[in-house]
Structure 1
């Protein structure tokens, strides 16, 4: 087994094809195909199902990919360690967040301090944020709760209650509060399954003996916001994420017990020592104490 063979396999697996892997590695497609073929022949194992121009991982390929993700991520960390100054001048930091709102002030200070670092921010829910971290597709995540896993390093950013929100001209817009019984009688606009806000809301409603059934289920916070703004129903969000929108009003939820969302900055513990991740956490910690 040679390094170049594992590298070829890894890039085909993560990019979804031999031609894209060849582009990423600046090699020809026949060279990539040959390296993967030799790896399979040497160990008498099939790593990819090949059908016409489509490739997919076999079960053995899936297991090998789990290993090569760690291998090449460790290689990247070693590179960062050996060129720390350069990493903070021209590296790339990948963030996936359940709400970018909690990052805005941190991003501004981080960019002031490290203007050469490129940052990508993608949105997701609790499940997809964790999946991205464990798949090494993101360096840092933002979640609406403090995870208890030993694999995760977390920094609490804030803690705010879940509130309901409606269009400004909605019939209940002037109410001082809403109970779960009130909510059960209204058309609700809920996030997709996997949303921590939705899960906490539904759990607390069940404790109160109420089942909340969505009239509309939408993927993503912005989709919910736009649907609610149209007057179609009642949405839910943590108070910190409600923001400022002249079309909407927020309403406290009463009688539901403790429904606080602890927004946290997280990363895999094994990656906390990475220069860019460490620098971002340091800036976030400064902001949390000022």
Structure 2
């Protein structure tokens, strides 16, 4: 039995709006027409999607169950519409790059500039998210290239994606130059007693710090300040408050300029591998392959063997 997608869309919109009246306003479709099509849909499939409680219309348990896959269906429809719009607006192509803060602030700008010199007519869109969201965006076909730390990637991902290892980035504890622990060797326990400044929830770096604490049987630090961006985190530390645990790729220039100082914490070493991930080569447009080629030529990097 085929599904009436228009009726399913009406169900979805009513569920989102909370009432037929509000859905009618949003869709510019009469209330009787919406109600009639939903009732026909229910009758056709022998289901009940809504029930009245007082003056309110609420989802039945089955309606609630149906809502999640329906949401995915119409999210996919929107994604397809966006892809078509992108093609119409940028017939010569659009390169969508997504990465964590480290990637978009330190690595991607140079590669994007080199790419635009070669492909001036290709639109380039660069977005910054945490590593998990970068990976999910690529897997959901919302981006063409994702650059992020490998802590979020699984063996299954390695099998299904093209993965190129860019850097092995060591993380370090940093403080302001005037801090009592600047350029000192300090125990893990003493370090964790300091106020910390870290990235937002979902940050791979924050998760690794908690793992290090667990592995060393040390209570995790108290996060006194939390920022969405790595640059804001570093600026707050450089201003003289607290401690952070950050990428050496980002912090090295601050340390060289004397704006930050490193703290040596024995037996604490965390290396984060930075990956460029894309779909398999046969699914990539030519200009996406060329961006990857630019990256490979710019740095002495090695790719993990392509399982295909």
TM-score by length of 2: 0.66
Q: Deviations over 1:141-181 (max 9, x none)?
A: 22222512524522211112111111222222243x44423
8 Å contact from structure 2 (residues 182, 263) kept in 1 = no
Select the residue among 185, 190, 200 that pairs with 1:192: 200
Cα distance, 1:213 vs structure 2: 1.2
In 2: Cα distance, 1:38 partner to 1:30 partner: 15
1:236 to 225, 229, 245: 245
Distance 2:35 2:291 in 1: 41
Tell me whether 1:274 sits opposite 2:284 in the alignment.
yes
Q: Are the aligned partners of 1:178 and 1:251 in contact in 2 as well (CA < 8 Å)?
A: no
Query: CA offset at residue 93 of structure 1?
Result: 1.8
Give the distance between the partners of 2:120 and 2:134, measured in 1 at CA.
Answer: 25
Mark the runs of 5 or more structure 1 residues left unpaired by the alignment. Answer: 17-27
Match of 1:120 among 125, 136, 159: 125
Q: How far apart are the structure 2 equivalents of 1:254 and 1:272?
A: 46
User: What is the count of residue pairs matched by the alignment?
Assistant: 265
Give yes or no for contact 2:188–2:218 (8 Å, CA) kept in 1: yes
Q: CA deviation at 1:68?
A: 4.7
1:168 aligns with 2:177: yes
User: 1:264 maps to which residue?
Assistant: 275
Moved more, 101-110 or 60-69: 60-69
| Worse-matched range after superposition: 62-71 or 196-205 | 62-71
Kindly indicate whether the alpha-carbon contact (under 8 Å) linking 1:96 and 1:138 is maintained by their aligned counterparts in 2.
no
Aligned to 1:286: 297
- Please report the TM-score for the alignment, with normalisation by the length of structure 1: 0.69
Q: Secondary structure at the match of 1:263?
A: strand
**1:208·1:256 contact (CA, 8 Å) conserved in 2?**
no
Inter-partner Cα distance in structure 2 for 1:36 and 1:127 = 39
Q: Where does residue 103 of structure 1 map in the other structure? A: 108
User: Displacement of 1:240 after TM fit?
Assistant: 0.9
Question: C-alpha distance in 2, partners of 1:161/1:109?
Answer: 27
The answer to whether residue 135 in structure 2 is matched with residue 130 in structure 1 is yes
C-alpha deviations, 1:40-72, integer Å up to 9, x for none?
Answer: 56643869xxxx9xxxx9652431342455566
CA displacement at 1:237 relative to structure 2: 0.9
- Preserved CA contact (<8 Å) 1:161 1:239: yes
| Gap runs ≥5 in structure 2 | 18-25, 43-47, 51-55, 57-62, 302-308
Q: Which residue of structure 2 lines up, in the alignment, with residue 30 of structure 1?
A: 28
Superposed, 1:46-85 pairs within 5 Å as 59-70=65-76
**Which residue of 2 is the match for residue 23 of structure 1?**
none
Q: Which residue of 2 aligns with 1:21?
A: none
Q: Quick one: structure 1 residues 37 and 289, their matched pair in 2 at CA, closer, same or farther if it must change by over 3 Å?
A: farther
Cα distance in structure 2, aligned partners of 1:163 and 1:90: 40
Measured against aligned partners, the alpha-carbon deviations of 1:223-281 in whole angstroms (never above 9, x if no partner) come to: 322321221101111111225334632415443354101111224x4797232544433
**In terms of mean alpha carbon deviation, does 65-74 or 204-213 score higher?**
65-74
Shift of 1:192: 2.8
Question: How many angstroms does 1:289 deviate by?
Answer: 3.4
Structure 2 partner of 1:249: 260
Q: Which has the larger radius of gyration?
A: 2
Structure 1 residue aligned with 2:156? 150
Native 8 Å contact 2:99 2:131 kept in 1: no
State the Cα distance separating 1:217 from its structure 2 match.
4.0
Matched-pair contact (CA < 8 Å) for 2:173–2:263: yes
* CA distance in structure 2 between the aligned counterparts of 1:253 and 1:202, rounded to whole angstroms: 18
